[in-house]
Amino acid sequence: MKPREIIPDVLAVGAQDFDRRLFDALIPLPDGTSYNSYLVRGRDKTALIDTVEPAMLHVLEAYLKDVTRVDYLISNHTEQDHSGSIPWALERYPGAQLLCSEPAKPMLVDHLGLDAAKVQTVADGEKLNLGGKTLRFIYTPWVHWPETMSTYLEEDKVLFSCDWFGSHMAATDLFVDGVDCILAEAKRYYAEIMMPFRKIVQKNLDKIGDLDIRLIAPSHGPIHRDPRSIILAYRDWTDDKPHNSVVIPWVTMHGSTAILVERLVNALSERGVTVFPFNMATADIGQLAMSLVDAATVIVGAPTVHVGPHPTVLNAVVLANALRPKVRFASVVGSYGWASKMVDVIKGAMPNLKVELLTPVICKGMPKPSDLVAIDKLADTVAAKHRELGLI
């Protein structure tokens, strides 16, 4: 296996993981993922930017078989899918200096069991001259851990961004060219790990706003040859204004909640609102997360189980609460057999969402005509709220 040049003296040496189907025992990976690692060769010194998930170390080893000297190991991000093979790299290249941001140092020591004396920090904005290749380190915190930084190659205008601008996608092509779905893949990834830090991502976008960037080389997924398009997409995803859409995570047991949800989906779409319903019994939570990026409203559809909401739907509420989307309105529709406290439980499970709660529609047993009228009124209210925000 030979490393491939992305530009002269900058080589891709990472691993494509076509078979991985789950990340963090949580995130579905329909298209696998990659752990991108880059070798930058200057006239005098060589740097390796990030490593790979230890399970794919054999790929990195093969690419670096003939690379006898690395002077610097640069860790943009401590999470193990990028840092996990650093201990191997330090053994392979005992003369190499490990460089990271200041907040990353204790994290590398804790997560990898490294000797602190082997870890050298770089300041925000500090430069490293490799000889005709100058690396500038730019702190970009919370994309998506507090210690993350990006590395900018000044002469070639390449931004090595690690997770942000990345996508969980394994591909044989190094570049985005021809990958039509890349913005969807990148949005999915943003939703899953960066959306909770939307405001800080906005600041990071401002921070790199003046950089002249020719290529964005993330640590997952293909390289962007059109940085503007992915940066503009990030601007939209992090913008404060939501879109005219409603996300409905729901599940049904005996069909009552399904009737309410079907009526609601139709009523909202008749009023010009885009709806993304997700039956949580089978839904891909990555798709749910993507839809939450833009949604103005989330409406939970749940039957009652032992007085509380069905746990499968409650999981979706817990996830939405953790992802902190920019939703403005929320409600609950659902059913119960003899008693229910699920609205209170659902409200209590989403303290991070700064939403106005719209009147819930909860029916006993199968929905009656009056319940369906209440659903239509809820749709009226949602449409009116969206109109007030200028979304319709």
Residue ranges in contact with ligand FEO by CB under 6 A: 77, 79, 81-82, 144, 163, 219-220
The least distance separating ligand FEO from the CB of residue 75, rounded to whole angstroms, comes to 11
Whose CA is closest to 135, among 11, 48, 37?
Answer: 48
Q: d(Cα 96, Cα 74) in Å, to the nearest integer?
A: 10
The least distance separating ligand FEO from the CB of residue 234, rounded to whole angstroms, comes to 16
The least distance separating ligand FEO from the CB of residue 302, rounded to whole angstroms, comes to 32
Q: Which residue is nearest to ligand FEO (CB)?
A: 79
> CB-based contacts of 307: which residues, under 8 Å, 6+ apart?
339, 340, 341, 342
3-state secondary structure of 351: coil
The least distance separating ligand FEO from the CB of residue 53, rounded to whole angstroms, comes to 9
Q: d(Cα 69, Cα 64) in Å, to the nearest integer?
A: 9
**Residue number, 9 or 192, with CB nearest to ligand FEO:** 192
The least distance separating ligand FEO from the CB of residue 162, rounded to whole angstroms, comes to 7
Q: d(Cα 276, Cα 282) in Å, to the nearest integer?
A: 14
| Residue at 78: amino acid letter | T
Cβ atoms of 324 and 200 closer than 8 Å: no
Q: d(Cα 224, Cα 215) in Å, to the nearest integer?
A: 6
**Residue number, 167 or 256, with CB nearest to ligand FEO:** 167
**Residue number, 186 or 379, with CB nearest to ligand FEO:** 186
Q: d(Cα 29, Cα 12) in Å, to the nearest integer?
A: 22
Count CB-CB contacts under 10 A for residue 14: 27
**Residue number, 34 or 244, with CB nearest to ligand FEO:** 34
Q: d(Cα 74, Cα 48) in Å, to the nearest integer?
A: 6
What are the distances in angstroms from CA 259 to CA 74, 169, 275, 297, 359? 55, 37, 16, 20, 18
**Residue number, 77 or 133, with CB nearest to ligand FEO:** 77
**Residue number, 93 or 197, with CB nearest to ligand FEO:** 197
Cβ atoms of 179 and 226 closer than 8 Å: no
**Residue number, 220 or 386, with CB nearest to ligand FEO:** 220
Cβ atoms of 83 and 111 closer than 8 Å: yes
